Structure 1
Amino acid sequence: MKNKKFLVALAENVSQMPQEDIQKLRLIFTNRRAIKYFLKEYRSIKQGVYFLPQCDTISDFVQQHSQLKIADELSLIYVLYNCYQQVWYSHNPLGKDEEKETFEQFYFWGKTILSDFDDIDKNLADASKLYITLSEEKEIEDKFDFLDQNQKEILSQYFADFKKLYSAQSSLQRNFTKIWHCLFEVYELYRKALAEHSLAYSGMIYRDLVERLQQGSESFGDDMFAFVGFNVLNQSEKALFTHIKNNNKALFFWDYDTFYTQSSSNEAGLFMRENIKAFAHDETFSQNDFSAIENNDCRLKIVSSTYSTEQTNYIRSWISNLEKEYGKSLQQSDMAIILNDENLLPFVLKSLPKTINNCQTKVNITMGYPFKFGKLYEQIADFLSQAGESDKTIKQQLGELTQFLIDTAQQPECEPKDKQACFSSIKTIEQFEQTLDFIDSELPANFVSKILLRLLKKRTMPFESDATDGIQIMGLLESRSLDFDHILMLSTGSSNLPKVSNTITFIPHSLRVCFNLTTDEKKTAVFAYYFYRLLHHAKTIDYVYSMVLSNKDAEEMSCFLQQLRVELQKPIKLLKLPRGENINRTTITLPPKDEQTIEQLLSGRREGDEKSSYFSASLLNSYISCPLSFYYERILKLKISEADEDYTYRALGNLFHQAAQIFEESNKSKPINTCIEESYNLLKDEEKSIMVQFHKDIAASFLKDLEIYDNKKPERCFVAAEREVVKTIEIDGQLFRFGGKIDRIDKEGDKLILCDYKTGGSPEKLQEIEKLFDPNNKNRAKYLFQIMFYAWLEWDGKPIDVEVIYLHKLKSSHYEVKSYTYNAILHEEFDQKMRELIASMLSTEKTIWETLGNDNVCQYCNYKDLCSKDIDTENDD
């Protein structure tokens, strides 16, 4: 199966269509950025003269088929204000000394009503039933017969709570019920008033198109449609897709991965599971590989900083590491910085180096550069802050502001980007003045100034070197359908990812669920999808979060990251950024490597020593990776507190290994769940305290997969599980003990088979024996070193098969357990390298414990602050 980036695969698919089909084809995307990337890929494939397919966003497509025009927010709320007043005061006449609510008072909660109406229409909800007033709960059965039983129960609970909550006589409670009673009437009057002006809000246009399609008054001729990269579909979009599917030729291109669509508990696949079922893939496109997450070798890293702005200190290190690892193959256009908090953007831009791979750094800010970060915004804010004190009309003051911007742009020292900001602001002011003309009502100057500033604050300035060239800086939303090789995602703490605040609405949650409206749970699922889809084709992803919020509260990593660490079952590196200035590593004195420290190492590991210990595979792996780190951990015994997550994974490993031993030793007669429970009872109390049913389920799943794997090998017989092997070997005239626990030993005929279980990590390939001992080998196979070490201990002159079984991979059709034969030739090489390793370890020829590890090892070392090696990126001055 093909594993290609989504838009690359799409471009190839479309380019192979007949020319007459391409001329009739309309591709509908979720956003304009995806269109740019698609066209880039399409042009790179086609040669000579060719027809470019028509591409639109879904919002543009819907707008094109409507005679209504989406109005600006201020106009929409003003029309709503007039309709609301008409309905409200017809039911609630003014009392003596009471005054009507002003537009300024209405504006901010009018936005809430408008948002509710928009949601109702986009999801084709029946407003007459939604805003109905039930005098008795039993009316649910009669008036809500379109709901299923579960929805009716939710609704019954809502009205029971509603009755309790609003039975009191506070003014707030009375006003809410009065407002609720008016809202359907306001809804109907409002839609009618907008239509009379040929205006609409977004949801109204969606609903209008769907209703006209259902009535037969709108059609799309013989056009072909392709819907690309959608995830959550509102009810209008579902109706639109269904109509086109039934009446035109419709193709659907879904961007997903089976990692989350086949897991009902993963919210990232919530909507995609429905989409694939309702709107099947294009047949040829379905031949692509949709299990990329499980099968790729994406390197993941989670980085914590103390404060939010300190996250950007990591950017240069991120780029420098990529330059070292990928060399000239590293392209800026393959790199993306994802911002979950746009307030970091100015700090990000300042942190970028001037060059990447000796080429000038180019930047494209997909989201645009927020106008609020520019000095011009501050000048406009100062100007408007005095609006309420002036005797001039607001129109006159806006005219003066426009002239100020013109004068500023005409100054010789005004840079091109500042001129662009001036002219963009003038355009916004002109549009705002047109809105004031439409309103045709005198509004307080302070209120008008506040609204104008809000409009300007939302504006963004283009910030592009080229449409798809340079490092891409974008929000998570803008990354839809796009794939990058190297991703740095900032602000991945729980407060920003997912960034779902409680919905401000007049429609209670239970009603939202019953009427298929937007809920916070759905928003979270949307963010989960955007988060997980970036894993599809990336080579590296670095997630950075701050541990302290601006209000000094503690911050945790996002629940998505925590979920990823448990479910992905791949190695994820953890790194903590140091506070403030980097440590001057050249001032650190490295520990001496002398007879005393060597004696500490050997104590208990020599034949005849009172204390019984041995050289294990993990100890030797530690020394090969870095002698200095080995000294701190194994000789000095300087312990670094273990993260809760790491301890949990270790406890999970213990739970499985003991359960597997119980299962095998019972000749697989004991039920798997019984083995899990018996293993759980053997855990230490502190391990039990962090184990929940979820971890038991994972261990049980691993054991079941292992049983299926074993059943495919009937020629094997079980010998032992968790067998401790200790062997005394003479090296340079001294007798040393070597040992370890072998997870499982099988036998096939006369041949031993040594198996090592791994609950995480990526499969390794056996290179030359020499590379297993090379500290500078970035891809050193530590797991294979361990199983080869056990074969070295078990060697009796006969070949031994060794296997590393990656339990989390057993379900995958792409994974096959690789078996290697440890024979006489390998044994001779391994034995020689082992003797050289021990000799190096015990030699005092080098007078200090030095670091030999590569930067990949150093980056995540617990003792890097006690090391003289400089692994930090140098700053450009």
Structure 2
Amino acid sequence: MQSFIDVVLEEESVTDTDNLIFILPSRRAGNTLRKKIAQRAHKTSFAPQIFSIEEFISHITGLKSASNVDLIFNLFESYTEVVEKEKLVSFQTFCGWAQSILSDFNEIDRFLLDQKKVFNHLKDIKELSDHWSSSTNEIVVNYIDFWNNLLQIYTVFCEKSLSIDAVHQGYIYRQAVEVIEHYISSSTQVRHVFLGFNALNTAEQQIIQAILASGNSEIYWDTEKSFIKNPYHETNLFIKKYKRDWAYYSANDFSWSFDNYSTSKNINTYACSQDVLQAKTLGTILEKTSQDALSKTAIILGDEALLLPVLNALPTHIHKVNITMGIPIGKTPTASFFEQLLSLKKNPQTNGYYYKDVLKVLRNPITQALLKETATTLQQEIISKNLIYVSTGVLLNTVNQEHLNIAKTLFLEWNDNPKLAVSNCLQIISELRTIYDETQNSLQVEYLYGFYVAFNKLKTLMEVREHISDISTFILFYRDIISSETIDLKGDPDQGLQIMGVLESRVLDYDHVILTSVNEGILPSGKSQNSYIPYDLKKLYDLPTYSEKDAVYAYHFYHLLHRASTVDLLYTTHSSGLGSSEQSRFIRQIEEEGIHNLTKYTVTPASHSTSKKSQVIAKTPEVVIKLSQFLKRGISPSALTTYLRNPVLFYERYILGIDSSDEVEETVAANTMGTIVHNTLEELYKPHIGIVLTEDILKDLIKGIEQEVRNQFKSEYGLTHIQEGKNKIIYAVICRYVHNYLKREISLLKKGDTVIIQAVEDDLRDISLTDTITLRGKVDLLEQRNGHLNIIDYKTGKVTQTDLNLKSYEDLLLPEGKFEKAFQVLMYAFMLNKKKPLQFPVNAGIISFKNLQSGFLPFKYNRNQEITADTLLEFEAVLKRLVKEILDPSIPFTER
């Protein structure tokens, strides 16, 4: 099937190229047209002039639109000239408005509206909405005052922009309408050919109509007869309006419509569960595409963020790809590094950088390329010292001399100085360039060049503009610049696979079209708009709303299908946030039409159903030796209960020495909290060992709780963040735990208990179990209560009596440590008896601070809580069995 451009060229005689101008919607379409003309040429000649519509408007006026950044500066300077000084907002605040205001200025001018009327209407609406409440404050008054001055701001803005030859696009369009008659009179011999247009603003319509009325010009529409005849189909909403309203068509026939869509096509839809799965599915489709068919194939990205995943998913047999859209540098790995660096430098605290920001930078591959092993050393320093806020001094003192200069560039504060920020970033780029040149990493060098250009633009801006005066504004403009900067990729538009965005596909036709992200909210884009002009006002002035925007997307979507024979439509089904992804209404429309061969596929990630296998680690001779050494040094109750819960965890923690704590403890962890409680009670009770406790003694201890808890916090965690967030709550909880415990002890004394503290945190070491195995541990509290010895273990977690009720000593060895609390207190009693024979019977149990109302929870065997010599003999047998199992080389460590 002929492409639209081929059809046009058959109608047009491209002979007098000096007096021929083609105008198309996009530059890419113009490049394709130029190639087609060259292919048809029989002799050497100059190509005709070919413009995109924006270039043609500039050609008429001689004006060029300024960059978005320059326009924002001009607008702010105009704003400061018009609005009273005391009512001005900061440049950073203004930037939050500027983009929408510029967009509205462009729209008002492109649609040739009376600025005074529009701005007065807008002012009245803002004043009405913001004065609806009876209370108004200074912010509201200043906001309304801005809208009152908007017409004057616009006037000054246009004058200022024109004086420095940096005008907005809408202004150029309005000027083009004013000078179009002069242009026509000076171009009487020129034939203008417009092709492939759809949605035109008022200025474009007037310009095209004026040129068509002058004669010797033509406009070629690419429309479908079935859509033109259908009064409800949104695809040709605009063209039907032009056909009806343009004076040109009262005297000329509207002949440029085709009947391509009604030809049956093979359309496949792919419902993908994830965004990236679209790229993988696309790669699978291309695997089945022959080399010859690739030149007639186009990938259209509904969401251009999929470009990199799509490139990574391309099959290896595809050697030629043409991507004129370029790779946005904001989507490259280098962008994440600079984003992390900017986040680090944006809000440094008086006591240093927040540790998570520092660790993100240190763990980035780019930082590791710069600092090598020093990046790992710095991470270990932060984690080992539990630094929540990291000062520059700590960072630089840890760095070796070789990497000191680059470390200073990375971590010295910018002190809200954007010039220093740019200088640092350019220095980092220079250092990285050297590294990547040495490793011949050409792709990373390309990425770096994009950022080199972006930061130099910022540097130039700061040299000529004074408004980028702080880091926040610097970051705002940095993000704006990298959002528009791309890494250009070279390719032949006539060869190989074509990859483009939806807007680039205008006028172009392909036999096989693969369209991604055909989701509602993308195709079409939905009701979102970047405008301060409300919907009703847009309707009043016939400005485009989301309805017209939907019609534009409908045209682009259906145009891709006109001359294609095979179409693959990919969309996602995953939920995101509060919304969910659903297929575009366009797919539903195709389904309802019933014209084409529609096949539906559902794609999910490949998965393998494998049952989880428990990890098994054999006890090699080397492991057995380490086990023997460990048991000889002394094994604790907590180590043994860890083995009961999970032998593999025991192996990793006690044999390999792997520390599970590899992160900064920002909020006090449960184990640290327990340590603070234990140490606090130890320090409070220590002066009163061996004496009878009285109510007065305990009341004095209560008075010292808060200070002692602070001391223990300082020792275990540091005082820096004790009064912040969750730590403040945890501090209060610990104080409450100890206070409630001592209050309970006072109430028991009042009831007649007699208590003598015999030992606190009694450290038991070198307790022999056999000739080669020793035991160790620490008993929290030994007390003589009413003439009876109690062995007590504190637990800050919740423990109940059922955790300590035993029916059989064999139950102590149950997997997953079901009776680990009973095991621990029995082992403490066993070790105390080994150290010095006990006067039986004794009690051993737990005080649970989360279950304090239950009081002392004793170990019980068949409801008997007294521990005797026979009890410990039974436990010794169980203990030896467990240790024998640990040492047995035939029994591997098996995960539970």
Alignment TM-score > 0.5, same fold: yes
2:458 to 432, 443, 446: 432
1:487 to 476, 492, 513: 513
Give, in whole Å, the separation in 1 of the partners of 2:250 and 2:328.
39
Q: Which residue of 1 aligns with 2:725?
A: none
- Per-residue displacement from partner, 1:466-519 (whole Å, max 9, x unpaired)? 233221122211111111111111111213211234223221111112222231
- Per-residue displacement from partner, 1:131-180 (whole Å, max 9, x unpaired)? 22599xxxxxxxxxxxxxxxxxxxxxx97995798364455765654443
For the structure 1 residues 289 and 250, does the alpha-carbon distance in structure 2 shift closer, same or farther, using more than 3 Å as the test?
A: closer
Give, in whole Å, the separation in 2 of the partners of 1:173 and 1:319.
57
- Per-residue displacement from partner, 1:168-200 (whole Å, max 9, x unpaired)? 445576565444322222222221222222220
Contact 2:322 2:492 in 1 (8 A): yes
Q: Which residue of 2 aligns with 1:13?
A: 11
Write the letter of the residue equivalent to 1:126: D
Give, in whole Å, the separation in 1 of the partners of 2:565 and 2:253.
23
- Per-residue displacement from partner, 1:553-574 (whole Å, max 9, x unpaired)? 4322111111222235333111
Q: Which residue of 2 aligns with 1:255?
A: 222
2:20 to 15, 22, 25: 25
Q: Which moved more, 1:388-397 or 1:109-118?
A: 388-397
| Pair 1:394-2:453 in alignment | no
| Pair 1:377-2:365 in alignment | no
Q: Which residue of 1 aligns with 2:319?
A: 361
For the structure 1 residues 442 and 174, does the alpha-carbon distance in structure 2 shift closer, same or farther, using more than 3 Å as the test?
A: closer
Give, in whole Å, the separation in 1 of the partners of 2:608 and 2:251.
55
For the structure 1 residues 408 and 520, does the alpha-carbon distance in structure 2 shift closer, same or farther, using more than 3 Å as the test?
A: same
Give, in whole Å, the separation in 1 of the partners of 2:7 and 2:609.
47
Contact 1:28 1:61 in 2 (8 A): yes
Q: Which residue of 1 aligns with 2:488?
A: 462
Q: Which residue of 1 aligns with 2:197?
A: 230
- Per-residue displacement from partner, 1:362-383 (whole Å, max 9, x unpaired)? 2222321121222232343345
Q: Which residue of 1 aligns with 2:429?
A: 405
Quote the offset at 1:214 in angstroms. 5.4
**Helix, strand or coil: the match of 1:113?**
helix
Contact 2:329 2:451 in 1 (8 A): no
Write the letter of the residue equivalent to 1:12: E
Contact 1:212 1:218 in 2 (8 A): no
Contact 1:308 1:550 in 2 (8 A): no
Quote the offset at 1:261 in angstroms. 2.0
For the structure 1 residues 285 and 315, does the alpha-carbon distance in structure 2 shift closer, same or farther, using more than 3 Å as the test?
A: farther
| Pair 1:317-2:275 in alignment | no
**Helix, strand or coil: the match of 1:292?**
coil
Contact 1:28 1:228 in 2 (8 A): yes
Q: Which residue of 1 aligns with 2:764?
A: none
- Per-residue displacement from partner, 1:307-327 (whole Å, max 9, x unpaired)? 22222232243224444xxxx
Q: TM-score, normalised by structure 1?
A: 0.57
Contact 1:385 1:449 in 2 (8 A): no
Write the letter of the residue equivalent to 1:380: F
Write the letter of the residue equivalent to 2:419: K
Percent identity reads: 24
Give, in whole Å, the separation in 1 of the partners of 2:122 and 2:308.
53
Q: Which residue of 2 aligns with 1:571?
A: 597
| Pair 1:452-2:475 in alignment | no
Give, in whole Å, the separation in 1 of the partners of 2:228 and 2:91.
47
Q: Which residue of 1 aligns with 2:107?
A: 119
For the structure 1 residues 227 and 217, does the alpha-carbon distance in structure 2 shift closer, same or farther, using more than 3 Å as the test?
A: closer
Give, in whole Å, the separation in 1 of the partners of 2:121 and 2:429.
53
| Pair 1:292-2:260 in alignment | yes
Write the letter of the residue equivalent to 2:576: S
2:583 to 549, 553, 557: 557
Write the letter of the residue equivalent to 2:533: I
Write the letter of the residue equivalent to 1:343: A
For the structure 1 residues 8 and 214, does the alpha-carbon distance in structure 2 shift closer, same or farther, using more than 3 Å as the test?
A: closer
**Helix, strand or coil: the match of 1:132?**
helix
Q: TM-score, normalised by structure 2?
A: 0.56
Give, in whole Å, the separation in 1 of the partners of 2:253 and 2:268.
32
- Per-residue displacement from partner, 1:514-570 (whole Å, max 9, x unpaired)? 222231111111101000111110011111111113337432211111122223533
Give, in whole Å, the separation in 1 of the partners of 2:585 and 2:247.
30
Q: Which residue of 1 aligns with 2:95?
A: 107
Q: How does 1:369-768 map to 2 (within 5 A)?
A: 369-385=327-343, 388=346, 389-391=413-415, 393-410=417-434, 411-441=437-467, 443-551=469-577, 553-581=579-607
- Per-residue displacement from partner, 1:781-806 (whole Å, max 9, x unpaired)? xxxxxxxxxxxxxxxxxxxxxxxxxx
Give, in whole Å, the separation in 1 of the partners of 2:329 and 2:186.
41
Quote the offset at 1:283 in angstroms. 13
Give, in whole Å, the separation in 2 of the partners of 1:216 and 1:53.
18
| Pair 1:65-2:60 in alignment | yes
Give, in whole Å, the separation in 1 of the partners of 2:28 and 2:295.
14
Q: Which residue of 2 aligns with 1:206?
A: 173
| Pair 1:166-2:154 in alignment | no
Write the letter of the residue equivalent to 2:96: F
For the structure 1 residues 134 and 303, does the alpha-carbon distance in structure 2 shift closer, same or farther, using more than 3 Å as the test?
A: closer
For the structure 1 residues 407 and 548, does the alpha-carbon distance in structure 2 shift closer, same or farther, using more than 3 Å as the test?
A: same
Give, in whole Å, the separation in 2 of the partners of 1:418 and 1:535.
38
Contact 2:283 2:310 in 1 (8 A): no
2:206 to 236, 239, 257: 239
Number of residue-to-residue matches in the alignment:
540
For the structure 1 residues 472 and 566, does the alpha-carbon distance in structure 2 shift closer, same or farther, using more than 3 Å as the test?
A: same
For the structure 1 residues 375 and 484, does the alpha-carbon distance in structure 2 shift closer, same or farther, using more than 3 Å as the test?
A: same
Give, in whole Å, the separation in 2 of the partners of 1:437 and 1:67.
28
Q: Which moved more, 1:449-458 or 1:484-493?
A: 449-458
For the structure 1 residues 573 and 488, does the alpha-carbon distance in structure 2 shift closer, same or farther, using more than 3 Å as the test?
A: same
Q: Which residue of 2 aligns with 1:334?
A: 296
Q: Which residue of 2 aligns with 1:34?
A: 29
**Helix, strand or coil: the match of 2:80?**
helix
Quote the offset at 1:103 in angstroms. 0.3
Give, in whole Å, the separation in 2 of the partners of 1:412 and 1:12.
55
**Helix, strand or coil: the match of 1:319?**
helix
2:2 to 1, 4, 26: 4
Unaligned runs of 5+ in 1: 136-157, 585-877
Q: How does 1:806-821 map to 2 (within 5 A)?
A: none
Quote the offset at 1:406 in angstroms. 4.2
Give, in whole Å, the separation in 2 of the partners of 1:36 and 1:415.
32
2:50 to 48, 55, 60: 55
For the structure 1 residues 483 and 168, does the alpha-carbon distance in structure 2 shift closer, same or farther, using more than 3 Å as the test?
A: farther
Quote the offset at 1:282 in angstroms. 15
Contact 1:27 1:53 in 2 (8 A): yes
For the structure 1 residues 399 and 159, does the alpha-carbon distance in structure 2 shift closer, same or farther, using more than 3 Å as the test?
A: closer
Unaligned runs of 5+ in 2: 347-412, 611-896
**Helix, strand or coil: the match of 1:200?**
coil
Give, in whole Å, the separation in 1 of the partners of 2:576 and 2:527.
17
Give, in whole Å, the separation in 2 of the partners of 1:257 and 1:123.
27
- Per-residue displacement from partner, 1:44-92 (whole Å, max 9, x unpaired)? 2222323311111111222233354422222212221232233332xxx
Q: Which moved more, 1:79-88 or 1:401-410?
A: 401-410
